[in-house]
Amino acid sequence: MSIQYKFPDGFWWGSATSATQMEGAASEGGKGLNIWDHWYATEPNRFFDGVGPETTSDFYNKYKKDIQLMKQIGHNSFRLSISWSRLIPGGEGEVNPEAVTFYNNVIDELIENDIEPFVNLFHFDMPLELQDIGGWESRRVIDAYEQYAQKSFELFGDRVKKWFTFNEPIVPVEGGYLYDFHYPNVVDAKRAFQVAYNTMIAHAKAVQVYHSLNVEDGQIGIILNLTPSYPRSSNPADLKASNICDLFFNRSFLDPAVKGEYPTELVQLLEEHGQLPETEVGDKELLKNNIIDFLGVNYYQPRRVKSKETLPNPYSPFMPDWFFDNYEMPGRKMNPYRGWEIYEKGIYDIMINLRDNYGNVESFISENGMGVQDEARFIKDGRIEDDYRIDFIKGHLEWLHKAINEGCNAKGYHLWTFLDNWSWMNAYKNRYGFYSVNLETKERTAKKSATWFTDVSTNNGF
């Protein structure tokens, strides 16, 4: 077979998931409650088909077999997250020994099967007790997070060498404090910006702790969903709209993480509108001195914007959307099964931006993938023939390959996700996995893309 797209030696091939979305066992093994358990218990109707986080895909009980399935499809790396409320029920204080055993088992099993564990500390799942005292608005929660991070490094850092502080930290800001799709369902931009800022303080503290341990072959980073904001046209008004969008949704986390400081333009904008978060003495230095070692990039779809068509209602709450309108480009390519635009070149544009404006920071694609509703309609002879997913991955890999050829520092590609998992409010509506999961029996079945990916990983290209 001739390989047209060969990737650099040692390229990371695998997939990613998170604790709440995959483990299940939400009330087993001594786990405490997190905001998802609580929100589902109080408002189950807000979750697709009324499915909650209690059992999800049952990785907690099936991890051994699942790791064999990963191995079968050529994974050399895999990202999971630790559930804070499982490791430290309540979020502060004593470690739960059953959780330590579980995560030790998973990590050991992965390593025994030549799959490198990438471990993330926070994937949207705030322990309930900490949310009750203010969540990321509270400095006490930052301290609790720092201790949780330190504990995790102590417990698992002898074997785990790739750490992440947060996955898509902007999403709890958007979901929980602006657009009402995460608990606590607050709509208040000022509080949202405080949450965003405090998250970065927590991040920098965890980086500081990790670096103080001087683990020679260890790296710590953050995972950001970088969504290029393409302007409708080169009209200055459209360019301004896309620049503001980029400041709010990309640079708000990317700049402090990689450069150790916030973009001046963003600070000025928030100041003009009386939206600046409270800061403390020492924060600036903390951010400056604790930049990341490497970056995970999640990319699903582009954002297209145009200048605002109507003035914002002055009585409506302040929103980033006061400065731009979303733009539906005529003829854009769509994933019709999920309603998202597909724009493969976005991955290249992100990488070039990192190369040219962020010191070519070491990075990898930590999530990319295609959600599809009712995938069962594509079953032939018992297998989901997901050629659309193969095309999707291929298209993105081709652009990633080009970026690498042009000097971008990308080290791997992880699909979202390994097996169909629970997608927050969407529950099991959109399926993303290499393996499908039967929700009644929990049986796993490889999709066609899984077989295809095995070849890609084995040949280090396609």
Interaction site with ligand GAL (CB under 6 A):
18, 21, 167-168, 225, 298, 367, 371, 416, 423-424, 432
Nearer to ligand GAL, 18 or 290 (CB): 18
Q: Tokens for 1?
A: 């077979």
- Give strand ranges (E) for 291-370: 294-298, 303-306, 325-326, 334-335, 340-341, 363-367
Could you give the CA distance from residue 80 to residue 66 in angstroms, rounded to a whole number?
A: 13
What are residue 303's phi and psi, to 5 degrees?
-115, 130
Residue entry with tokens 């399935």: 69
Q: Which amino acid is at 314?
A: P
Q: Shortest Cβ contact with ligand GAL: which residue?
A: 423
Q: Which is nearer to ligand GAL, 122 or 432 (CB)?
A: 432
CA angle 116, 122, 125 (to 5 degrees): 130
Helix (H, G, I), strand (E, B) or coil at 279: coil
Nearer to ligand GAL, 183 or 462 (CB): 183
Q: Which long-range contacts (CB under 8 A, 24 or more apart) does 338-344 make?
A: 338/370, 338/371, 338/372, 338/373, 338/430, 340/300, 340/301, 340/371, 341/301, 341/302, 341/304, 342/301, 342/370, 342/392, 342/395, 343/301, 343/302, 344/395, 344/396, 344/398, 344/399
Cis, bond preceding 310 (omega within 30 deg of 0): no
Q: Shortest gap between Cβ of 365 and ligand GAL (angstroms)?
A: 13
Closer to ligand GAL by Cβ: residue 117 or 175 = 175
What the block records as the tokens of 93 is 């204080």
In angstroms, give the least distance from the CB of 167 to ligand GAL: 5
Q: Which is nearer to ligand GAL, 57 or 307 (CB)?
A: 57
Q: Which has the closest alpha carbon to 256: 139, 334, 169?
A: 169
Amino acid at 175: G
Q: Is 81 in contact with 121 (CB distance < 8 Å)? A: yes
Question: What strands lie across the sheet with 325-326, from one edge to the other?
Answer: 229-231, 303-306, 325-326
Residues taking part in catalysis: 367
Closer to ligand GAL by CB, 170 or 361: give it.
170
How do 435-437 and 444-446 pair as beta strands?
A: antiparallel
Nearer to ligand GAL (CB atom), residue 324 or residue 432: 432
Quick one: 84 or 318, whose CB is closer to ligand GAL?
A: 84
Handedness of CA 110, 152, 424, 343 (dihedral sign): negative
Distance CA 358, CA 259 (A): 7
Per-residue tokens: 267: 């600070």
The 3-state DSSP class for residue 431 equals strand
